[in-house]
Structures are given as C-alpha cells and as structure tokens.
Structure 1
C-alpha cells in the first residue's frame, strides 16, 4: 500500500530524514519507535505532504504521490491523527465528526453513525463541546474524526501521550476491531513500548533520521533494553 524509497526531508536547510525506506502492506499495523527528535513526526508529515520530500519517492497504492498536494493525498485515503489531537474544541463532538466526514457529501451522517458504533463512549457526549472532554476522550474523538474520512491508511502520532490507562486499553481494542471490520492499515508513532506491542505486527526503530532496526513485535518486547539508546 505504501512504498517509501530513500526519502529525505526536513525544515528549511535542516535535514531531518536522511534516506528512509519503508514499505507497508494493506491491512498491516506497523509501529515506529524512537525517542523525541529522531524524525518520526517529520516522516508522518512528509508522507501526508505537509513537508516536501527533498529526495526520494513516496508511492501509495502504486501511484507516485511525492509531489501531490496534501488534500489530494487525503482524498486518496491517507488520514492523520496528529500529536496533540488537534480537535475543534468549540465544536460539539458530533460536529467534529461531521467535519471529518465533510468530503463524503450526502453520505456524511451514515458514515458518522457507522464510526460511532466503534466509540460507544462518545455517544454519551455528542452535544458536548470537544474541548470539555477529558484528554483521553479527546484522543478517542480525534481517532473517530479521522475514521470518518474513511482512510485506507491511518498515520497515528503519539496517541498515548498524557492519556489514562483505561483509555489506552480502549484504543487498543477499538483499533483491532476497526482493522477486522475495514482492513485498515496503520503506521503508529509511539514511545510507549507496551502500546506498540499490543498493536503492531512489526516494529521499526528510528534514530537520527534513519531506520536502524526492524523486528517482530515479540522480539521488540523481549529486547526493549537493546533499544534504550535508540
């Protein structure tokens, strides 16, 4: 589904990604692990087009999207749940979801209703402003809003940061259920090793803008000390 070859990117003259090769198959859940400042979020922003690739190619479902506009990548089926959630705090939960489904036209309400089946907690707060939800509930809302855009590939950036354990467990169960129901593909950036281990089929480790290791989830969890300097 996603094929990245020798991608380099950064901010101005500062190069952050130094030649990334990454391949995701349809329906695969892949974890991307590493400490802050290693380039994980930069890679996410480059995949979606917020940052231009200075070298290399990005292909999605066989189509070269390296220079494609961000909104066109989104319409092709790439969705992002950014670090910090970035919901609309003054809009109700329901209107946040409708915003996520805005490109779906007359099917918008049906899509929102379908997504809400996976988020029973949010059904209790549909009329409440998103900004009045707890941090964990806002993260669930951000996930649900992204899914209302019907992505084939979800980019999920640091979703457990500052979230209570009960919501983290709920996110794990929800994402597994959605994967089973829709065949969703997921690229997960995370520092919480247990969370990655509960979702990912395999784990990539990033250090200083390059991928230095790929391992099975079992090996990653059994050898976390080996990545302590990653």
Structure 2
C-alpha cells in the first residue's frame, strides 16, 4: 500500500534519511523504532511532505506522491498526528476536530462516527477550549482530528509520550481498535516496546537515518530491542 523507494530526506543542507526502502501493507500496524535522534520523526514528516526536500519515490496505492504538497498527500489519504499533538489551544474541541475535514475529499463537515465510541470525553466537552485539556485528552483530540481527514493510513508520532498512565492504555486500545474496525493502516513511532510488540504486524529499526533491521511483529523480541535501543 505504501512504498518508499530509495528515499533520502533533507532539512536544508542536512541529509537526515539515507536510501530508505520500505513497504507497508494495507491494514497493518507498522512500528518505527530506534534511539532518540535517529530519524524516526523525520520519516513520518517525509511521508507527510514536511521536510525541506526529498529524493526517491513515495507511492501510496501506486500513486506517486513524491513531488506532491502536504495538503495533496492529506487529500490522498494520509492522516498525521505529530509529536506534541499541535492542537490549536484557543479553538474548541469541536473546531479542532473539524479542522481535519478540510482534507476530506467528501467534504463532510461532521465529527467522524467512531469518535464518540473512542473518546466520549471529547463529545461531552465539544465547546471546551483545546488548550484546557490534559495532555492525554489533547492526544485523543489530535487523533480525532486526524480521523476527520478520512485517512487510509495514519501516522502516529509517539502517541503515548508524556501522557498520564491512566490514559496511556486508552490510547493503546484506540490504536488497535482503529486498525481492527476500520482496517486502517498505521505507522507508529513508539518507544514503548511492550506496546509495539503487542500491536505491530511489522517493524523497522532506524539508526543514523538508515534502516538497520526490518521484520514481522512476531520477530520483535526484547533481545532485539535491547540491541538496537540501548546506548
């Protein structure tokens, strides 16, 4: 479904990703793993078209997105939840969610059907300012906004980072539900190896902007994690 062929990515004159070749199957959860600063977030930003430039090919359902704008990639079916969430604090919960509809080619100005089931708190607080929510509630809001784009593939950058423990489990269950109920393809940057092992169908380890190992979810062991994540 999503293919990266010899992808290199740059911030200005800095060469961050080097010759990335990946293939992510439709309807799967794919974990992107590695130490801090090895290019995991840059990989998602490259897919979304948020770096200075890239070379190589990025194909979504055989549609070449390599030279397309971020907005065009969102319209093509890529949803994105960035690290730090980036909700608009002065907008209400409802307004934040409906922002995602600008990328929905169907033009439906409504909250996605699955949001009330996944995030009842948001539905009970639609008129509350996004900036007044807790970190975990803002993460729920960022996911709801991404769902409003009606994506085929969802990019999640460390969705459980800095979230209170009682909401981490809710976020994890939400990710699995989105995959199972919507057959949504998910690319997950995650430091929580326990969750990555539980949820992912495939994985890649990055180091210094390069792929050092790929495999199936069942092959992700503690031994591999210790080898590629310890300093």
Instruction: Name the TM-score, length of structure 2 as normaliser.
Output: 0.92
Unaligned runs of 5+ in 1: none
1:147-162 counterparts in 2 under 5 A? 147-162=147-162
Aligned to 1:166: 166
Partners in 1 of 2:166 and 2:218 — Cα distance?
23
Aligned to 2:122: 122
Root mean square deviation of aligned Cα = 1.7
Asked if structure 2 preserves the Cα contact closer than 8 Å seen for 1:28 and 1:185, the reply is yes
- C-alpha deviation, 1:45, in angstroms: 1.1
Aligned to 2:228: 227
1:136-155 counterparts in 2 under 5 A? 136-155=136-155
**Secondary structure in 1 aligned to 2:163?**
coil
Aligned to 1:75: 75
Aligned to 2:28: 28
Deviations 1:12-47 (A, max 9, x none): 211110110010111010000011110111111111
Deviations 1:143-194 (A, max 9, x none): 1110011110111111111112221111121122222221100001122212
Aligned to 2:213: 213
- C-alpha deviation, 1:200, in angstroms: 1.0
Instruction: Name the TM-score, length of structure 1 as normaliser.
Output: 0.93
Aligned to 1:177: 177
Aligned to 1:10: 10
2:38 is aligned with 1:43 = no
1:102-117 counterparts in 2 under 5 A? 102-104=102-104, 107-109=108-110, 111-117=111-117
Asked if structure 1 preserves the Cα contact closer than 8 Å seen for 2:160 and 2:171, the reply is no
Asked if structure 2 preserves the Cα contact closer than 8 Å seen for 1:118 and 1:178, the reply is no
Aligned to 1:91: 91
Partners in 2 of 1:186 and 1:177 — Cα distance?
11
Paired residue total? 229
Call closer, same or farther: CA 1:24–1:53 in 2, change over 3 Å. Answer: farther
Partners in 2 of 1:106 and 1:49 — Cα distance?
22
